[in-house]
Amino acid sequence: MTDSAIALDPTELPDSPTGGDLRERVVAGIGVLLPRVLKREVPMPAENACLFDELGLTSASTLELLLELEERLDIQIDVEDIDQDDLRSLGALADFVTDHAITED
């Protein structure tokens, strides 16, 4: 998969943590949740889209996005180790979430 194309249809995002690849579900989940968090229409961004400069996320909206992802994907995200590099792009955030996700039983 390239940075400029997302193969998933975000409207078909599974809610179950057991189905599909977690990273793909995180990317799709971000695409589904961005319009809600930003309170405006947002086309599905490329993975290399800058969260702050291109998409307009703020620190508060990033936290809201992470909380919404936890709920939607039924996971917990350990954010203790998050740093600026993890927030530089959609793909970097997806990598962080995938690496720091704790699935709920």
CA nearest 69: which of 8, 26, 100?
26
Q: In this structure, is residue 13 part of a structural domain?
A: no
Question: CATH number for the domain including 42?
Answer: 1.10.1200.10
Q: Does residue 6 form part of some domain?
A: no
How many separate domains does the chain show? 1
pLDDT digits (tens, 9 = 90+) for 65-105: 999 999 999 999 999 999 999 999 999 999 999 999 987 65
Predicted TM-score (pTM) of this structure: 0.78
Contact call for residues 73 and 29 (beta carbons, < 8 A): yes
- The answer to the question of residue 11 being in a domain is no
**Residue 51 resides in a domain:** yes
Q: Is residue 8 part of a domain?
A: no
Residue 32, domain extent:
18-103
Tell me if 5 is assigned to some domain: no
- The H or E element that residue 101 is part of is strand 101-103
Cβ neighbours of 28 (radius 10 Å): 24
- Tens-place pLDDT, residues 28-56: 999 999 999 999 999 999 999 999 999 99
